[in-house]
Amino acid sequence: DGGITQSPKYLFRKEGQNVTLSCEQNLNHDAMYWYRQDPGQGLRLIYYSQIVNDFQKGDIAEGYSVSREKKESFPLTVTSAQKNPTAFYLCASSISGRETQYFGPGTRLLVL
Amino acid sequence: GIQVEQSPPDLILQEGANSTLRCNFSDSVNNLQWFHQNPWGQLINLFYIPSGTKQNGRLSATTVATERYSLLYISSSQTTDSGVYFCAVERTGTYKYIFGTGTRLKVLA
């Protein structure tokens, strides 16, 4: 089945620790996105990538980093500089930057 | 930046009722999408609708870009329609989508 997978489903971070969230898609989509969702809120864009080896900051990129070495993969690292990382993280992809976005199941990040 | 407002923020319906959800945006946009987020957090794309009207079963959507609003119609609602409905707009020329704060819908059996 084609789709987007995110792992892990739940992730616990200790103070001062970097953690990496995985996002993989087998839809052959060029564009990929990372969003953050806080309780009761809409989604906010962290980073997006229109093509391999290229990515752009979204509205809340501080404390996060990404890479796009392969078309199918767009991992997100939550660094220790992100002081309030507890949230629901959603990855999405689309054929190009202006088409329908398809979302993965999300990763819930909690700080210990 | 663009402001995206959705109304109503909360809605409770009896099964079988119809409803209209509204999305207003403050500036011109390239594209608009409607999503449904189920109670487990999964987002499903309902419509990609930068302008005009589309229908998919019991759901339909209309976007009037010149007047900066979009409407999502749900007819004969079912309990499985419960969840949060988001609209998202693409800022012109940016590939960046801005999400509204959502309408939380609960359909009672």
Decide if B46 contacts B72 (C-beta within 8 A): yes
CA B18 distance to own-chain centroid: 15
Which of A44, A58, A90 lies closest to B43 in CB terms? A90
Q: Does B101 contact A41 at a Cβ distance shorter than 8 Å? A: yes
State percent of chain B over pLDDT 70.
100
Structure tokens given for B7: 């109304």
Token pair 């739940």 in the structure block, residue:
A10
The predicted-structure confidence for A58-111, as pLDDT tens digits, reads as follows: 999 999 999 999 999 999 999 988 889 999 999 999 998 778 999 999 999 998
- B37 Cα to chain A: minimum distance (Å): 10
Q: What is the DSSP string of B47-70?
A: EE-SSEEEEETTEEEEEEGGGTEE
How many C-beta atoms surround the C-beta of residue B102 within 10 A? 23
Q: Does A98 contact B44 at a Cβ distance shorter than 8 Å? A: no
Locate the chain B residue with the closest alpha carbon to A6.
B42
> Cα separations (Å) of A20 from A60, A111, B65, B90, B98?
17, 14, 39, 27, 24
pLDDT at B83: 97
Q: How far apart are CA A88 and CA A83, in angstroms?
A: 15
Chain A residue numbers with beta carbons less than 8 Å from the beta carbon of B83 are none
Q: How far apart are CA A99 and CA B10, in angstroms?
A: 28
Residues paired with A87 in a beta bridge: A109
Chain A residue numbers with beta carbons less than 8 Å from the beta carbon of B101 are 41-42
Which of B48, B95, B100 lies closest to A97 in CB terms? B95
- B53 Cα to chain A: minimum distance (Å): 16
Question: Which of A6, A29, A38, A45 to probe by mutation at the B interface, max B CB count within 10 Å?
Answer: A45
Mean pLDDT of A3-31: 94
The predicted-structure confidence for B17-29, as pLDDT tens digits, reads as follows: 999 999 999 998 8
Question: CB under 8 Å to A13, separation ≥6 — which residues?
Answer: A19, A78, A85, A109, A110, A111, A112
Q: How far apart are CA B11 and CA B4, in angstroms?
A: 18
> Cα separations (Å) of B77 from B12, B16, B50, B57?
11, 5, 25, 11
Locate the chain B residue with the closest alpha carbon to A33.
B96
Q: How far apart are CA A61 and CA B8, in angstroms?
A: 30
